[in-house]
Amino acid sequence: MESILSVITDNLPWVWIAITVICLVIESLTLSLTTIWFGISAFLMVFLAFTPLPFKAQLFIFFALALAMLIFTRPIVKKKLNKKTIATNYERIIGQIAIVTKKITALEKGSVKINGMEWTAAVKEDITLEEGSKCIIEEIAGVTAFVKQI
């Protein structure tokens, strides 16, 4: 056990470089903004490895620095990177009024027309929507629009 520790302490800059590379590879595979902070911390430790600071102290600084960056900077960076998504066609029609083009019952799907597009439609309640009546799009599941009576 002591020989492994002596090998590590004799090659500290290389150990920290290896930890940096490993953390950055893991981060590039996961993109979770978690191991990047450990990678940055390990990179900073490369420079501390040239000081007479003992390995245990370096290890403590490494974890303290990484955890501090993880806790305090990850939410800020995540918020900056989390761009608002543009609503797709199906998200835009939720809550809008549609015209029934084929009768819809609780047991049989029909169809509705909204914004010039025809959608397969169904109801969740025990109601019947006749052709030509108006309804509101409640939700989209797959290619079916679930509607409710106005």
Residues 6 or more apart whose CB falls under 8 angstroms from that of 25 comprise none
Q: What are the pLDDT tens digits along the chain (150 aa)?
A: 667 777 777 788 999 999 999 999 999 998 888 899 999 999 999 999 999 999 899 999 999 999 999 999 988 888 888 766 665 666 788 999 999 999 999 999 999 999 888 999 999 999 999 999 999 999 998 889 999 998
DSSP for 16-41 reads HHHHHHHHHHHHHHH--SSHHHHHHH
* CA distances, 97 to each of 32, 48, 58, 108, 131 (Å): 40, 65, 64, 20, 14
Supply the pLDDT for residue 46.
95
The 3-state secondary structure of 84-127, one letter per residue: CCCCCHHHHHCCCEEEEEECECCCCCEEEEECCEEEEEEECCCC
The per-residue pLDDT for range 64-94, each reduced to its tens digit, is 999 999 999 988 888 888 766 665 666 788 9
